[in-house]
A and B are shown apart, each in its own frame.
Chain A
Amino acid sequence: MVQGLLTTSVGSFPKPAYLLEARNRFAKGAISAEELNQLEKQATREWITFQEEIGVDILVDGEMYRGDMATYFAERLDGFSISGLVRSYGNRYYRKPVAVGDIRWREPISVEMFKYAQSLTDKPVKGMLTGPYTMMDWSFNEHYANREALAMALAEAIHQEAVELENAGAKYIQIDEPAVSTRPEELEIAIKAMAVVTNGLRAHTLTHICYGDFEKIYPRMLDIPVDQIDLEMANSHYDLLDTFRKAKFTKAIGLGVVDVHSHVMESVDEVADGIRRTLEVIPASQIYVDPDCGLKTRTVEEAKDKMRVVVEATKRVKAELN
């Protein structure tokens, strides 16, 4: 029986229509936090059930409770306020965290929802955090002397949250760092900050990094102190495999095999082919198979179909190896 090739997903799933509506109503004060929380749990339960039904190995709660991945944590840490609207692109705006005082962990942020999701299944559910480098890069800094000082303060706070998740039973703790590839010259800060986050954890730790200028951060990127790095492979047509041939990929890899930005549905054939090509470079025991990134921008049906393809293709390749 082949070891490895476990299936999982990066974190977010699309919110069902009733939850989107409830979030709007909550923002307008029309429903209570408790009512919203009940619907978030309902949606979480539906996604857990779906993942179990199709046979995913390592589950996520789908982040039904989150808006923005940085703002969600910033709102729950001491030392942050939230800015007025700033533009992301086109007519899309968001509110950005602002570090205005000493950043401190106050109370568990993600633990309640983790426990709830884990209570619904015997399979492991990942604990999901946003990393200190990304939290720093996506915030305004009005308090700390420089970017590194803010990142290191965040690292302490996020470490505390990771410990809480581990104590609550998380076997996998994911600390997302999508911003790491945007300023290659700051990779050292990200490494230093992650060392603080993962210090002493026994759980399998991993980080998700979005596509960027990997030539400038690879292989140094492998020094990020986590067990697994999760990468987008599908939307770059597995170009990174050539890079890994030149300098070995030494960690476990989260292998993104479906493009989350595209409505186009990958076939089981092409995804299985991507996994086989990766096996030429990285052993099965080191590979976790998942979509490129969070699926929240797809429709519920598209997200489900993409997950089915991930699971089916992995099953097929595993059967070949057995």
Chain B
Amino acid sequence: MLTTVVGNYPKIANRRESDAPKAASATFNPNATSITTATATAGDNTTLPTNLRRALALFDEGKLTADQLKEVQDNITIEVIKEQEAAGLDIITDGHIRWADDQTYIAGKIKGFTLSGLLRYFDSNTYYRQPVADGKLSAAGPILLADYQFAAAHANKPVKVSLDGPYTLARLSKNEHYKSDEDFALALADILNAEAKALLKAGAPIIQFDEPAILRHKGDFALFAKLMARLTADLDQSKLALYTYFGNLDGLDHYFELPFGSFGIDLTDDYGRDSWAWLNFFPKGKTLGLGIVDARNTRLETVAELVAKINELPENIDRSAVQVSPNCGLEFLPRERAQEKLTRMVEAVKSVSR
């Protein structure tokens, strides 16, 4: 039984800037004292902020160059990689540190999209800029390849790549170009298929597509299945994961027949109570992403509580093919609470594996 995360990771630590470790680009020394002050000026490489919020503000004011901002993002990516490894996770992500949100980072790099006004992200109190397709969609090249390679080079654990699948990305965007929403989503599926191909070729161990939107529009399942077929065409299925959250699987009878090697499921009390029953139908030979840590609430699960949940797994589930995780990305939480939750999750999995 392994442990992993779903995708994004809180970008800002709640420590004072002066307490922050100095994240030099290649090595991480948590005992180093900070050199950072808020006085960075363009072209001055010696005083980069260690806080991304500050760095983005300085960048907006023109006091930080794009290269300097990238360096800060690199440093914080390394920082969250080390944090995930320190928590004991088996499979990690780059934390999406460079992403403004899960939609616009991808859509912003696809030609044919423009970014529009703020919209609420599902039922959360967070917002994203809505991508609007006002032309034919095309990607000039791989979108996440450089990010993956950077993260993989700085990680000791396997780094999976996670991103919105075509259905969710289409649902959260607006189509002003394609004749039908189906054509729009299919165009996205083709682009993301090419993306996955490039990432797998570069050695990415897992490409995870997040499709929370299907749980809120279950009547679209036939279209969804078609999109998933296009998305995964000619790819090594065993390396593809499909994650859903913010809802349950009721009514999606053919969900586990979709062409993925791994299915991540939200099994938290708020959303996934009714999904437990579906585990009885989980197919042999597939990996189960067990989303039992609530990434939407700060309440800390106890190790015993998590152990009890893992022990609720039905007999048919091969425990060696289970990856325990939070139900969704961790960015809804303050950084320190996210870390504590991960530490407890790892502890729980260790104790059932003993």
**A residues in contact (CB < 8 Å) with B:** 83-91, 93, 96, 98, 137-138, 140-142, 146-147, 179, 182-183, 212, 261
Which of A89, A141, A179 is in CB contact (< 8 Å) with B299? Answer: A141
**Residue contacts A-B, CB under 8 angstroms, 5 given:** A83-B298, A85-B14, A142-B299, A142-B300, A179-B125
Q: A141 CA to B56 CA in the complex, in Å?
A: 31
Nearest 4 pairs between A and B by C-beta? A84-B334, A84-B14, A89-B127, A140-B298
Q: Are B297 and A86 in contact (CB under 8 A)?
A: no
Asked if B297 and A87 make an inter-chain contact with CB atoms under 8 angstroms apart, the answer reads no
Known: A91-B57, A183-B123. A86 touches B10 (CB 8 A): yes
Q: Interface residues, chain B, CB within 8 Å of chain A?
A: 10-12, 14, 53, 56-57, 60, 100-101, 117-118, 120, 123, 125-129, 269-270, 297-300, 331-337
Besides the known contacts A87-B12, A142-B298, 12 further A-B residue pairs in the complex with CB atoms under 8 A apart: A83-B298, A84-B14, A84-B335, A85-B334, A87-B126, A88-B127, A89-B126, A89-B129, A91-B56, A182-B120, A212-B120, A261-B117
Once the chains are docked, how many angstroms separate the CA of A220 from the CA of B173? Answer: 29
Residues of A within 8 A of B100 (CB): 89-91
Question: CA–CA, A105 to B261, complex, Å?
Answer: 52
Of A86, A88, A89, A212, which contacts B333 at CB under 8 A?
A86
| Min CB–CB distance B330 → chain A (angstroms) | 10
Q: Known: A86-B10, A88-B125, A89-B128. Contact between A140 and B297, CB under 8 A?
A: yes
A-side contacts of B123, CB under 8 Å = 182-183
Of residues B11, B128, B298, which shows the largest number of chain A Cβ atoms within 10 Å of its Cβ? B298
Chain B hits for A140, CB < 8 A: 297-299
Least CB separation from B119: chain A residue = A89
Rounded to whole Å, the gap between the CB of A99 and the closest CB of chain B is 9
B10 engages A87 (CB within 8 Å): yes
Q: How far is the CB of B144 from chain A (nearest CB, A)?
A: 20
For B127, list chain A residues within 8 Å (CB).
88-89
CB distance from A309 to the nearest CB of B (A): 22
Select from chain B the residue with minimum beta-carbon distance to A91.
Answer: B56
Nearest residue, chain B, Cβ from A86: B334
Chain A residues lying within 8 Å of B300, measured Cβ to Cβ, are 142
Residue in chain A with minimal CB distance to B128: A89
* Shortest Cβ gap from A93 to chain B (Å): 6
Nearest-neighbour CB distance to chain B for A24, whole angstroms, equals 14
Q: Is B101 in contact with A85, judged by CB distance below 8 angstroms?
A: no
Interface centre among B10, B297, B334, B336 (most CB of A within 10 A): B334
B12, A93: Cβ atoms under 8 Å? yes
Contact A84/B336 with A89-B118, A140-B298 known, Cβ cut-off 8 Å: yes
Task: Tell me the complex Cα distance, A86–B332, Å.
Answer: 6
Q: Which residues of B contact A261 (CB under 8 A)?
A: 117
In this complex, the member of A83, A146, A261 whose beta carbon has the largest number of chain B beta carbons within 10 angstroms is A83
Point out the residues of chain A lying under 8 angstroms from B117, CB to CB.
261
Residues of B within 8 A of A179 (CB): 125
